[in-house]
Amino acid sequence: NGWNENKNYILIGSAAWAGLVLLVGTLNYLVI
């Protein structure tokens, strides 16, 4: 059970980072 929760946190964290990177990249593309 603990391992499953860890996996969920890793997935959510990865998705959050991916979204953040995409957002920053899009903003940079629009600004420049």
Read off the tokens for 8. 């969920």
Please report the pLDDT score of residue 32 as a whole number. Answer: 72
pLDDT by residue (tens digit) across 3-22? 788 899 999 999 999 999 99
Q: How confident is the model at residue 1 (pLDDT cuts 50, 70, 90)?
A: low
**DSSP annotation of 11:** H
Report d(CA 8, CA 4) in Å as an integer.
6
Q: Can you give the pTM of this predicted structure?
A: 0.60
Tell whether the torsion through CA atoms of 16, 19, 23 and 28 is positive or negative.
positive
- The domain of 25 spans 1-31
Going from the C-alpha of 22 to that of each of 3, 18, 28, 29, the distances in angstroms are 28, 6, 10, 10
Please report the pLDDT score of residue 15 as a whole number. Answer: 97
Q: How many domains, the chain?
A: 1
Q: How confident is the model at residue 2 (pLDDT cuts 50, 70, 90)?
A: confident
